[in-house]
Structure 1
Amino acid sequence: MPHRRSLLALAAALPGGALAQPARWSPDRPVRAIVPFAPGGTTDVVARVLAEAAAPSLGQPVIVENRPGGASGLVGVDAVAKAAPDGQTILIHSNAHVIAAALVAKLPYDPIGDFAGVAHLGRIPQVLVVNPRLEVRDLAGLVAKLRAEPGRHHFASAGIGSAVHVAGEVFRSVTGAEIEPVHYRGGGPAMQAVITGEAIFAVDPVASALGHIRGGSVRALCIAGPQRVASLPEVPTAAEAGLPAFRHEAWLVALAPARTPPAATAALQAAFGAGAQRAAPRLAELGVQPAPEIDTPARLMAWLQEELARGVALLRAAGIQPE
């Protein structure tokens, strides 16, 4: 037994040995978390909650930096793709990360190959909201109005390929409504367009719409998914409101530049996991739901590949071609 313990200790100590332990990693300065959208939208709101909650596990602050610009946040995403792969810079992004492939003919980066998985940060149901001065009181009333007034209205988008845009396209597809999107620079400006009456509706993630709904500046008509949301228990699902085919949810992920050391991505994943537990009440309030089946960086990247194929197919069906 002493001889066996000596061999095990030696094997663990040898670089590349069968029992070698991965080196622990921690950042030596604040971690930059780039959000490729303007402040105030869902990605920004949830990123800030999780960044603050993850910081204690890393021993350094996680600083959210907004870098809006380009289709699907292309400017910010490209900045992370080209950043040093040292774990000090990460991307916090939404569905738009994979949708970009359906919108831009020549992306300056590969949305899969130029990134390493860190963590799935959660799924977020979306809620359809209208201006409270609009005469419609429910989803059926909105659909009837749009069909009676074809081409007279538009819906607000948080940018081409954003979750807000894609959800609006799903609504248009399942209702047959003659309505076009108007694209704003992020979720915050899109919501303001509904509040001021510039747009007839938006399908916004619960995380960013909740405060506006509770404040009375917009009226919620339905949840675009199969289940009600705990923070909005009075709002029916689309199925309950008579439109079961209207389903779409937002999601958020954290990614690092490709070739980031596995020890760094593992440490970041663990930090965000611990942060999600610390911030669980706030995340639940925002409607963020965990995705426990996507529990490793490798599974995250495989899932993103599947989401890319699904998102491209959805926008192609909506008649959107890359430019």
Structure 2
Amino acid sequence: MPTRRSALSLALAAGFAPSALRAQSDAAWRPTRPIRLVVPFAPGGSNDIVGRIVAETAGQILGQPVVIENRAGAGSVIGAEVVARAAPDGYTLLINSSHPTVPAIVARVPYNTINDFVGVAVAGFSPYVLVANPQLPARNAQELLALLKANPGRYNLATAGIGSGVHVAAELFRSSSQVEVEFVHYRGGGPSVAALLAGEAQLGTPTMASSIGQTRGGGLRPLAVLAEQRVPALPDVPSAPEAGMPAVVLEEYFPVLAPVGTPAPVVAALSAAFRDSIQQNAAKLNEMAGVSPRAGYETPEQVVNLIRESMDRFTTILRAAGVRPE
């Protein structure tokens, strides 16, 4: 059997530099222990649901489990910081639909949203949904708007936390519709939907993933999907323009990120596994979470550029609503 020294000699004799030999070896990177996928929200929210769907198959492809770790708090900042500070070795990843919203609303983010991460994949896109507790006397969006305008400040709107995409959707709804509602910020999409079901909050703009079961089952009343057109996951629910709210259009997406400095061959292996998993689970993502994969985010640069563009848009929405970083 050739020794490492003889293999290196043969490679050099064939014209390969040591760096090329390392690159060939690294290109076949495979994890040797479980990978943790940090979800910076409580269980039951959209990131948790989507993360668990894609993690299982990605782990099978990689040959090691991809384990979900919920690290809720501060509108995703706590979990994202865990990943930003983790060793860049491929064993700690982040899935966070709120990643581009945080800089617009948190004054002292303890990491750089762009420069401290590298893109792995985008698990899909999904619009937010305007919903109401069934006890609220509003059967459609226009009745809700009339009710809110007649009772300024009386009703509570549940969000998934300050800086979450749900918060941005809520601000867009409040400012575009010129209504006064009280925001109540919960520690993730799951708790916010639970508050809606319990009547602690009367309306919300949850992600489709965290609310689709309740809207289909009647626990929540869907009034509009915040999209340009109706979506297959909720075909009977009007789009925002159909509901008379053409400016209230917003979708979330699910970037999977690794710490900056993660070697390119490791990122490539992770990216390939997650993209394969996302495609294999496309029907399941749509059925369970109302999430649809989309082409065009196959490279780290494409993923990061999407986040950068979203940061600009979300900041514009929040500034127009009078929201300043705190």
Q: State the TM-score, normalizing by the size of structure 1.
A: 0.92
- The separation in 2 between residues aligned to 1:108 and 1:238, in whole angstroms, is 36
2:191 is aligned to 189
1:299 is aligned to 302
- The separation in 1 between residues aligned to 2:68 and 2:323, in whole angstroms, is 32
Matches within 5 A, 1:148-163: 148-163=150-165
2:83 is aligned to 80
1:4 is aligned to none
- The separation in 1 between residues aligned to 2:266 and 2:199, in whole angstroms, is 46
Offset at residue 247 of structure 1 (A): 0.3
Amino acid at match of 2:163: G
1:43 is aligned to 47
- The separation in 1 between residues aligned to 2:109 and 2:165, in whole angstroms, is 19
More displaced 10-residue stretch of structure 1: 210-219 or 43-52 = 210-219
- Counterpart secondary structure, 1:97: coil
2:169 to 164, 167, 170: 167
Question: CA contact under 8 A between 2:27 and 2:266: conserved in structure 1?
Answer: no
Offset at residue 10 of structure 1 (A): 3.2
Residue by residue over 1:214-267, the C-alpha shift from the partner in whole angstroms, topping out at 9 and shown as x without a partner, is: 221111111100121212111111111121111011111110011000111111
Offset at residue 277 of structure 1 (A): 2.0
- Paired positions, count: 315
2:37 to 14, 33, 50: 33
1:134 is aligned to 136
- Counterpart secondary structure, 2:88: coil
More displaced 10-residue stretch of structure 1: 287-296 or 38-47 = 287-296
Offset at residue 275 of structure 1 (A): 0.5
1:241 is aligned to 243
Question: CA contact under 8 A between 2:172 and 2:318: conserved in structure 1?
Answer: no
- The separation in 2 between residues aligned to 1:283 and 1:242, in whole angstroms, is 28
2:216 to 193, 214, 217: 214
Offset at residue 153 of structure 1 (A): 1.3
Amino acid at match of 1:253: P
More displaced 10-residue stretch of structure 1: 273-282 or 58-67 = 273-282
More displaced 10-residue stretch of structure 1: 53-62 or 103-112 = 103-112
Matches within 5 A, 1:80-159: 80-94=83-97, 96-159=98-161
Cα–Cα, structure 1 residues 15 and 302, in superposed 2: closer, same or farther, change >3 Å? farther
2:227 is aligned to 225
1:263 is aligned to 265
- The separation in 2 between residues aligned to 1:102 and 1:159, in whole angstroms, is 13
Question: CA contact under 8 A between 2:279 and 2:293: conserved in structure 1?
Answer: no
Cα–Cα, structure 1 residues 300 and 261, in superposed 2: closer, same or farther, change >3 Å? same
- The separation in 1 between residues aligned to 2:302 and 2:37, in whole angstroms, is 21
Question: CA contact under 8 A between 2:282 and 2:292: conserved in structure 1?
Answer: no
More displaced 10-residue stretch of structure 1: 26-35 or 195-204 = 195-204
In the alignment, structure 1 segments of 5+ residues that lack a partner are: 1-6
- Counterpart secondary structure, 2:272: helix
Question: CA contact under 8 A between 2:225 and 2:239: conserved in structure 1?
Answer: yes
- The separation in 1 between residues aligned to 2:14 and 2:237, in whole angstroms, is 62
Question: CA contact under 8 A between 2:154 and 2:182: conserved in structure 1?
Answer: no
Identity within the alignment, %: 48
Q: State the TM-score, normalizing by the size of structure 2.
A: 0.92
- Counterpart secondary structure, 1:181: strand
1:203 to 192, 202, 205: 205
2:314 to 295, 302, 311: 311
Question: CA contact under 8 A between 2:282 and 2:293: conserved in structure 1?
Answer: no
Offset at residue 17 of structure 1 (A): 5.3
Amino acid at match of 1:131: N
2:4 is aligned to none
- Counterpart secondary structure, 2:317: helix
- The separation in 2 between residues aligned to 1:136 and 1:180, in whole angstroms, is 17
